[in-house]
């Protein structure tokens, strides 16, 4: 099968769901009840641009996030891999197979150039976003002088219970798509192309996007059952993105201009404890009504938050230790972040409970001024801390978007 | 919010996607690009019937499977829980909240009756299917005399590497839906209702259904990149289902008539090894062409398999150790199973690899005559065994469908 065949099949099938495999006469056309609508066949998010896709792209339904360590010490090998990855990412985000010969072309005596599990699936709005961890800027690749000052290991926060096997990494790949098999396929093929150069340090699946990144999306709910990210930064406010998300040349390292910093935090939720907590207490912890999502004292979800309304006993209606108060721009001196996390359930914990929570991802222009002070305040004062535990952590510098002829990280390695 | 509000919201919204939360003025209507089509608002699979839903129901896109142990020794408490669960399942499969007061009704001083994360989401073809493990029939609940002879622990198979923490269980809940958050919400709420009576033994998420159960569906691909389950039993062949899936009164225990046996096997795939294997070798291992899914020697996916075509060197074209040969009805004396598995990726294995594979689920009328001999043959001879490892295992008797006024397991506990 040629490299363009996934796309070609969609074209041949015309309008409607294009799922009949080449030669698969008799195969049904619906992948399952209610999934993969016809519109998905044109569901391609452009790979190239000023910024990487997958940051302000309207958040897709599914995440596969992988952190990798580089095992080679050869800078040229690393650059070669980044070029190979870029080529593969261009193809996969268009719904094509990886490699010149695709999944089932090429020599029968050789391994297929693509692993095949995304054949017949539409592009599914796949985005692939890469990041560079602080450890990449050690003495292995001659990058020490290019390390941005903001790209340092995150400090320890009170009550962190971080697992090294869920933290850190030289590189990260964030794959988001509306079909988890498409996201998994993309990460798996990049990992495969990295054999001998990189290896997986940790990986995380997520679903049910736990924030919206566009005003065209409704606000989803996290596994506490609350709408999450109502006041998130949105793609439709480019001035706010310039202020809070995109790094500029003036920020220090010119190679990172147009890029950002990605913070990943795996947050285990003690859902069993939460579920035994009264509605009143839950709403005080969050600072919002569970049903409407309105801030306490307000009527509708998007009514402006007012932290100064008085409540019973002289206490403010939005408690002093409420999550939305501590995380608010008002409390944070104007600092905001772009949240882009996902819910997760990773089986069970061996103690009779589901292992569930929020895989928090945010993008910010300078974690020293945004995520870190925010998390310091939350970890010290947020009443929600009783119900959560941070079990994984990582920080990555996210290079700018790639031109039509460039490759991931070219401004760093060619700069 | 009342117990009917999730449904009522869909009704009020009329045709189209009903995603605006109550009072959520200004919220967008699209949950994300290309997902949750309008048709999903009528996407309800009936809970009651002769057989439980979730067996021959066209396989949904997502799975959350949980095995639980019963912690009470009081039969009445167990029966009470099964009644509570049935009531909750009826509501959730209709897209309603659990409990009389719903997610955000009731007293603010009490925990909400529903955890809330599925508010505003459509029913998503949710099915909930329950099963009883061999261990439930010990001396705790007076069920020993009702244990079907076929409900015994599965034998050890060659090359099994079973983890106790991923095996067994007194009860199982299989939740399937086209939205993972709906499946997770359902399991989480049943688990919550079981606090003090049951606890989670293990749990597994899956995606990308690894078999079709209806001729209206195309055949999906597993993480080896091959179409999986081409010759699966299908809902449209009731005679074959009667022969191979549904237990009859004559099979032994009358309470199980109309039920089945569910076998769950967590199968880790060594995808890195597989990905370095030639296309030719991959196709010989499976016995099918990777692209079309046609059996070796055939042209199209659904062409009948011919195991007798000669190949090079006097060997048959479909090798003697090919997966489809060993698992075929022809090799198995006519025995067939209904496969209903899902792909999974559970992070990484700590050794630089993705922890990926197939969560195999099948339904069969008598595992002693179907799954067990099939797995004995496969585990001893299948060339695919080099690329997989069974890490979890469980067997459950699946009671028949529930009447409009009945409860899960009533034929067992009231019989």
User: Nearest residue on chain B to A185, judged by CA atoms?
Assistant: B223
Cβ atoms A134, A147 nearer than 8 A: yes
Q: Residue B42 has what pLDDT?
A: 67
Q: Do B28 and A203 touch (CB under 8 A)?
A: no
Residue A18 to residue A383: CA distance in whole angstroms: 49
Q: Residue B101 has what pLDDT?
A: 84
Q: Interhelix angle for B180-193 vs B75-93, to 10°?
A: 150
Cβ atoms A10, A18 nearer than 8 A: yes
* Helical H segments across B287-343, by residue range: 323-327
Residue B328 to residue A362: CA distance in whole angstroms: 50
Q: Do A346 and B350 touch (CB under 8 A)?
A: no
The Cα angle at residue A187 between residues A6 and A182, in degrees rounded to 5:
40
B chain contacts of residue A116, beta-carbon cutoff 8 Å: 221, 224-226, 290
Q: Do B32 and A125 touch (CB under 8 A)?
A: yes
B chain contacts of residue A179, beta-carbon cutoff 8 Å: 208
**SS3 per residue for B328-390:** CCCCCCCCCCEECCEEEEEEECCCCCEEEEEEEEEEECCCCCCHHHHHHHHHHHCHHHHHEEE
* Average pLDDT score over residue span A378-390: 97
**B67 or B27, which is more confident?**
B67
The Cα angle at residue B205 between residues B204 and B209, in degrees rounded to 5:
120
Q: Is B38 strand, coil or helix?
A: helix
Residue A28 to residue B210: CA distance in whole angstroms: 15
Q: Interhelix angle for A75-93 vs A180-193, to 10°?
A: 150
Q: In this structure, what token pair is assigned to residue B269? A: 């795939």
The minimum CA-CA distance between A179 and chain B, rounded to whole Å, is: 8
What ipTM does this complex have?
0.91
**Tens digit of pLDDT for each residue in A247-286?**
999 998 999 999 999 999 999 999 999 999 999 999 999 9
pLDDT over 80 (residue A4): no
Q: Do B219 and A27 touch (CB under 8 A)?
A: yes
Nearest to A347 among B118, B202, B343 (CB): B202
Q: Residue A42 has what pLDDT?
A: 67
A chain contacts of residue B192, beta-carbon cutoff 8 Å: 272, 275
A212 Rama class: left (phi>0) / alpha (psi -120 to 50) / beta: beta
Cβ atoms B51, B173 nearer than 8 A: no
**A109 exposed, middle or buried (CB, 10 Å; 0-12, 13-18, 19+)?**
exposed
Nearest to B225 among A115, A208, A294 (CB): A115
* Average pLDDT score over residue span A299-324: 95
Nearest to A25 among B215, B219, B302 (CB): B302
Cβ atoms A215, A94 nearer than 8 A: no
Cβ atoms B112, A290 nearer than 8 A: yes
**Tens digit of pLDDT for each residue in A37-78?**
333 446 999 999 999 999 999 999 999 999 999 999 999 999
* Average pLDDT score over residue span A397-403: 98
The minimum CA-CA distance between B230 and chain A, rounded to whole Å, is: 9
Q: Residue A369 has what pLDDT?
A: 97
The minimum CA-CA distance between A363 and chain B, rounded to whole Å, is: 19
**Tens digit of pLDDT for each residue in B34-54?**
233 333 446 999 999 999 999
> Which candidate, A294, A399, A378, places its Cα nearest to that of A335?
A378
DSSP class per residue in B143-201: -GGG--TT-SPPPP-TT----GGGS--SEEEEEEESSHHHHHHHHHHHHHHTTTTEEEE
Give A28's pLDDT tier (boundaries 50, 70, 90): very low
B chain contacts of residue A64, beta-carbon cutoff 8 Å: 345
Nearest to B24 among A43, A115, A300 (CB): A300
Give A100's pLDDT tier (boundaries 50, 70, 90): confident
Cβ atoms A279, B111 nearer than 8 A: yes
Residue B268 to residue B249: CA distance in whole angstroms: 37
How many residue contacts between A and B have a Cβ separation below 8 Å?
A: 356
CA–centroid distance for B401 within its chain: 16
Across A98-107, B210-219, B270-279, least confident range: A98-107
Buried b (16+ CB within 10 A) or exposed e, B35-68: bbbeebbebbbebeeebbbbbbbbbbbbbbbbbb
Write down how long chain A is: 415
User: Nearest residue on chain A to B189, judged by CA atoms?
Assistant: A275
User: Nearest residue on chain B to A21, judged by CA atoms?
Assistant: B292
pLDDT over 60 (residue B71): yes
Contacts of A320 (CB under 8 A, 6+ apart): A381
The minimum CA-CA distance between A203 and chain B, rounded to whole Å, is: 4
B chain contacts of residue A278, beta-carbon cutoff 8 Å: 107-111
Phi, psi of B81 (to 5 degrees): -65, -45
**Tens digit of pLDDT for each residue in B75-84?**
999 999 999 9
Q: Do B21 and A201 touch (CB under 8 A)?
A: no
B chain contacts of residue A43, beta-carbon cutoff 8 Å: 33-34
Nearest to A116 among B64, B221, B301 (CB): B221
Is the CA virtual torsion B90, B92, B94, B99 positive or negative?
positive
Q: Do B184 and A207 touch (CB under 8 A)?
A: yes
**SS3 per residue for chain A:** CCCCHHHHHHHHHCCCCCCCCCCCCCCCCECCCCCCCHHHHHCCCCCCCCCCCCCCCCCCCEEEEEEEEECCCCHHHHHHHHHHHHHHHHHHHCCCCCCCCCCCCCCCCCCCCCCCCCCCCCCCCCEEEEEECHHHHCCCCCCHHHCCCCCCCCCCCCCCCCCHHHCCCCEEEEEEECCHHHHHHHHHHHHHHCCCCEEEEEEEEEECCCCCCCCCECCCECCCCCECCCCCCCCCCHHHHHHHCCCCHHHCCHHHCCCEEEEEEEEEECHHHHHCCCHHHHHHHHCECCCCCCECCCCCCCCCCCCCCECHHHCECCCCCCHHHHCCCCCCCCCCCEECCEEEEEEECCCCCEEEEEEEEEEECCCCCCHHHHHHHHHHHCHHHHHEEEEEEEEEEECCCCCCCCCCCHHHHCC
Q: In this structure, what token pair is assigned to residue A327? A: 């995380």
Q: Do B200 and A280 touch (CB under 8 A)?
A: no
Residue A232 to residue B384: CA distance in whole angstroms: 48
Nearest to B293 among A21, A107, A122 (CB): A21
Interface test with A, best of B69, B197, B275, B391 (most A CBs within 10 A): B275
Q: Residue A376 has what pLDDT?
A: 97
Residue B177 to residue B63: CA distance in whole angstroms: 7
B chain contacts of residue A30, beta-carbon cutoff 8 Å: 216-218
Give A102's pLDDT tier (boundaries 50, 70, 90): confident
The Cα angle at residue A237 between residues A151 and A253, in degrees rounded to 5:
25
Specify the pTM. Answer: 0.91
Give A292's pLDDT tier (boundaries 50, 70, 90): very high
Query: In sequence order, what are the beta bridge partners of B342?
Result: B359
Residue A2 to residue A113: CA distance in whole angstroms: 10
């Amino acid at each position: 099968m040629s490299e363009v065949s996934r796309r070609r099949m969609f074209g041949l099938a015309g309008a409607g769901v294009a799922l009949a495999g080449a030669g698969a006469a008799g195969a049904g056309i619906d992948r399952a009840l209610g999934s993969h609508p016809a519109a998905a066949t044109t569901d391609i998010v452009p790979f190239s641009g000023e910024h990487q896709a997958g940051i302000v792209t309207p958040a897709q339904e599914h995440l596969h996030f992988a952190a990798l360590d580089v095992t080679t010490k050869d800078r040229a090998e690393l650059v070669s891999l980044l070029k190979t990855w870029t080529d593969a990412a261009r193809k996969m985000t268009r719904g094509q197979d990886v490699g010149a010969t695709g999944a089932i072309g090429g020599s029968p005596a050789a391994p297929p150039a693509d692993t095949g599990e995304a054949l017949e699936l539409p592009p599914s709005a796949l985005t692939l976003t890469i990041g560079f961890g602080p450890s990449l800027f050690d003495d292995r690749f001659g990058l020490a002088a290019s390390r941005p000052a903001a790209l340092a290991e995150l400090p320890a926060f009170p009550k962190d219970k971080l697992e090294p096997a869920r933290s850190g990494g030289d590189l990260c790949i964030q794959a988001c798509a509306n079909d988890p098999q498409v996201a998994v396929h993309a990460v798996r093929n990049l990992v495969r192309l990295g054999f001998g150069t990189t290896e997986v340090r940790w990986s995380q699946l997520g679903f049910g996007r736990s924030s919206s990144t566009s005003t065209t999306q409704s606000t989803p709910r996290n596994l506490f059952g609350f709408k999450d990210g109502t006041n998130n930064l949105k793609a439709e406010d480019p001035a706010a993105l310039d202020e809070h998300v995109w790094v500029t040349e003036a920020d220090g390292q010119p190679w990172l201009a147009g890029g950002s910093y990605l913070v990943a935090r795996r947050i285990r939720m003690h859902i069993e404890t939460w579920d035994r907590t009264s509605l009143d207490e839950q709403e005080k912890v969050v600072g919002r009504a569970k049903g409407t999502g309105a801030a306490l004292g307000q009527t509708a979800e998007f009514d402006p938050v007012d932290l100064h309304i008085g409540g019973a006993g002289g206490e403010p209606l939005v408690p002093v230790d409420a999550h939305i108060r501590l995380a608010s721009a008002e409390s944070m001196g104007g600092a905001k972040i772009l949240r882009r996390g996902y819910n997760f359930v990773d089986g069970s914990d061996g103690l009779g409970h589901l292992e569930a929570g929020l895989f928090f991802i945010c993008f910010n222009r300078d974690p020293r001024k945004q995520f870190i002070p925010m998390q310091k305040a939350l970890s010290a004062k947020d009443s929600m801390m009783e119900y959560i535990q941070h079990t994984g952590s990582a920080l990555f510098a996210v290079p700018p978007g790639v031109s039509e002829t460039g490759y991931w990280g070219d401004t760093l390695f060619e700069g």
